[in-house]
Each structure stands twice: as structure tokens, then as C-alpha cells.
């Protein structure tokens, strides 16, 4: 059995600019997948990772090698992959953003879950850190101000939406 990674409490509270510069959208996807796979166990195999991301085993192995070199995962040949404290920090931030954006698109904007999931996967990699932080703060504020969204007005439909859009754009 592989050695358990250190608890999250030992993780750094923030990432350096150099760490952030190393992260590509694909690397973030790998880190998030490893995090989700490791919820039941402290580590996962390259094969599990490849299957989850629907990539070849060599592609997953190459990505893990890059993540290890950047300090986001620990891995030895023929052993399981585990997130380092730095990798867990990235994963937890990524998962939190993903879940909040998904909640916002499904519960507030009332998009179908499949479309929302697709859009969140695109959005989480396309927005800057400061924008992501502001969106998270807004969504958290919205949840506090309107718990469960019970008192939010229903989304306008059809002609109402067009009138709202015309009204809003006339102010810009």
C-alpha cells in the first residue's frame, strides 16, 4: 500500500506566480481528476487516471511526469499517483470553483445540467484568477442573501427575456 500524503493543513495557503505559470488547462484537469479519484483512496493509478480522462495511458503517464516535475504530484514508476500539498491546493481551488460555477449556472441561471457542466469546464480555464475570485465571492454572497434561491425571481422567458435585454443594453 502506498504511503498516505500529508494532510491538507500542511499545504501552502497560496501558490506562487511561478506555480501558476506552470499550470495549463490540461494540467488543471489532471489535478482535478487525481483529486476526485483520490477521495476514496489516498492515491490512484495511471490507468485509472487515463480511463477517467479518456486519454491513452502513455498520455496520462506523460502528464503525470510533468506534474511531478512541477511539484504538484508524487509518483514513482509503477506506483500510484498522489497529490502533493501544492497539488491539493490547486485541486481544492479548482473543485470549489467548478462546483460554485455549476451551482450558479444550474440553480440561478437555470441551465440544463449537461449544458452547465460543459460550459463550466470551458469557463474554469478561461477566466483569470481575479475574475474567478470575484465570481466565487458573488456566488457565495448570493447564496447567503438568498439561501437555496427560494426568493429569487423566476428567469424570464421568451418575450420577457428580449425586453429585459433591450432594457439592460439601453443603459450601457
The string of pLDDT tens digits covering residues 106-162 is: 988 889 999 999 999 999 888 888 888 888 888 888 888 877 666 667 666 656 655
Residues 100 and 71 in one domain: no
- Counting the structural domains of the chain, the total is 2
Determine, yes or no, domain membership for 158.
Answer: no
Determine, yes or no, domain membership for 1.
Answer: no
Name the residue with cell 452547465. Answer: 116
Residues 96 and 27 in one domain: no
Owning domain of residue 38: 8-89
CA distance 22 to 142: 33
- Looking up residue 55, the CATH number of its domain turns out to be 1.10.10.10
Residue 136 CA to its chain's centroid (Å): 12
Residues 49 and 103 in one domain: no
* Whole-structure pTM value: 0.72
The string of pLDDT tens digits covering residues 46-96 is: 999 999 999 999 999 999 999 999 999 999 888 999 999 999 999 998 898
Determine, yes or no, domain membership for 3.
Answer: no
Using CB atoms within 10 A of its CB, is residue 154 exposed (0-12), middle (13-18) or buried (19+)? Answer: exposed
The string of pLDDT tens digits covering residues 18-60 is: 777 788 889 999 999 999 998 877 889 999 999 999 999 999 9
Q: Across the strands, what pairs with 82?
A: 74
Amino acid at each position: 500500500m502506498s504511503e498516505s500524503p500529508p494532510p491538507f493543513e500542511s499545504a501552502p495557503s497560496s501558490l506562487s506566480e511561478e506555480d501558476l505559470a506552470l499550470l495549463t488547462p490540461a494540467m488543471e484537469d489532471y489535478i482535478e481528476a487525481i483529486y476526485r479519484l483520490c477521495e476514496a483512496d489516498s492515491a490512484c493509478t495511471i490507468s485509472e487516471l487515463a480511463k477517467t480522462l479518456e486519454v491513452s495511458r502513455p498520455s496520462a503517464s506523460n502528464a503525470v511526469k510533468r506534474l511531478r516535475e512541477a511539484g504538484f504530484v508524487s509518483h514513482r514508476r509503477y506506483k500510484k499517483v498522489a497529490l502533493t500539498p501544492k497539488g491539493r491546493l490547486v485541486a481544492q481551488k479548482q473543485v470549489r470553483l467548478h462546483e460554485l460555477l455549476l451551482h450558479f449556472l444550474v440553480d440561478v441561471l437555470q441551465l440544463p445540467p449537461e449544458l452547465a457542466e460543459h460550459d463550466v469546464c470551458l469557463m474554469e480555464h478561461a477566466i483569470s484568477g481575479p475574475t474567478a475570485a470575484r465570481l466565487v465571492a458573488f456566488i457565495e454572497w448570493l447564496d447567503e442573501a438568498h439561501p437555496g434561491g427560494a426568493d429569487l425571481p423566476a428567469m424570464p422567458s421568451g418575450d420577457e427575456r428580449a425586453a429585459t435585454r433591450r432594457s439592460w443594453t439601453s443603459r450601457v
